Amino acid sequence: MTYELYIGDRTFSSWSLRGWLMLEKFGLPYRTTMVGLYSDTMQADLAHLAPARTVPVLRTAAGHVLTDSFAMAETLVEENLDAGLYPSDPAARALARSMVAEMHSGFHALRDACPMMMAFCWDGFTASQAVRADLARIEELWDLARTRHGGDGPWLFGDYSLADVFYAPVAMRITAYDLPVSSAASAYVAAHLDDPAIKAWRAEGLKRSYDPWPYPQNLAQKPWPGDAR
Ligand SMILES: N[C@@H](CCC(=O)N[C@@H](CS)C(=O)NCC(=O)O)C(=O)O
């Protein structure tokens, strides 16, 4: 049984990254198809997956189409009960699910001001009060998960879970905009940066060029952590 995953981009599309991680990180079988998010062909490319309008899109082996990352996650959990997408402990699972849902529906100031970007880092970005408030809430959630359920593992609930999938693009935003966070949050961001899946996704994304650059900032650039200067 193979899932068909449709994504739009690797460097900028945070929801595509989530869709991919929820398959890749749990060893689920999938094939990836790229649609034209930045080439004006996306709606035509998705036409056979109606009612899909955005990426990611998932088609299951049974041919069911999921048009939203949250719906994809729920379906993957239901179809892969032993894959460990959520923590097995009910209290941990309740918090993980809540954190996934809060990410999916919130943090608009951070998302609007700091579009995900995995090519290089911006130098001198100033976070607004609203962005700082989103970061404070995210740190509160990360601390709670790590303190209650993190154990010795690097991830929010010890082992990698859907909560990490949904916050991976936040870690990329903290990196790309050099956002002010605590040392505990920085350690969690570093775990994502060291993740072989994130490295592979980013390397694939770097093969593509953009003209115009989708989300320009009037700022200087500096290297992504680990890249040669
Ligand atoms: N709620 C959707 C959001 C998906 C989304 O907004 N994807 C962006 C790319 S990251 C997109 O397809 N944008 C194109 C558009 O809105 O026309 C989900 O969770 O999957």
Q: What is the CATH number of the domain that holds 30?
A: 3.40.30.10
Residue 172 included in any domain: yes
Pair 112, 133 in one domain = yes
User: Is the C-beta atom of 15 inside 6 A of ligand 1?
Assistant: yes
Q: Are residues 142 and 97 in the same domain?
A: yes
CATH number of domain containing 179? 1.20.1050.10
Q: Is 54 in the pocket of ligand 1 (CB under 6 A)?
A: yes
**Pairing mode of beta strands 57-59, 30-34:** unpaired
Residue nearest to atom 1 of ligand 1 (CA): 68
Q: Which of 54, 79, 104 is where one domain is finished?
A: 79
Q: Identify the pLDDT of residue 229.
A: 64
Kindly state whether residues 106 and 186 are assigned to the same domain: yes
Name the residue with tokens 């962005």.
131
What is the per-residue pLDDT for 56?
98
Domain contains 227: no
* pLDDT mean by block of 10 residues, the chain; 229 residues: 95 98 98 95 97 98 98 98 98 98 98 98 98 98 98 95 98 98 98 98 97 94 90
Say if 225 falls within a structural domain: no
Does residue 50 lie within any of the structural domains? yes
pLDDT recorded at residue 82: 97
Is the domain of 38 the same as that of 114? no
**Closest-lying ligand 1 atom to the alpha carbon of residue 70:** 19
Are 38 and 140 within one domain? no
For position 226, what pLDDT does the model report?
93
Domain assignment present for 209: no
Residue 11 in contact with ligand 1 by CB distance below 6 A: no
> Quick check: is 192 in a domain?
yes
Residues 138 and 169 in one domain: yes
pLDDT of the residue at 228: 77
Locate the ligand 1 atom nearest the alpha carbon of residue 15 and give its number. Answer: 10
Q: Are residues 29 and 59 in the same domain?
A: yes
Final residue of a domain: which of 58, 79, 100? 79
One domain, residues 66 and 106: no
Same structural domain for residues 94 and 73?
Answer: no
Number of structural domains (the chain) is 2
Please report the pLDDT score of residue 217 as a whole number.
96
Q: Is residue 220 part of a domain?
A: no
Q: Give the per-residue pLDDT at 157.
A: 98
Q: Which domain, by its residues, includes 62?
A: 3-79
Same-domain check for residues 69 and 149: no
- Of ligand 1's atoms, which has the minimum distance to the CA of residue 13? 10
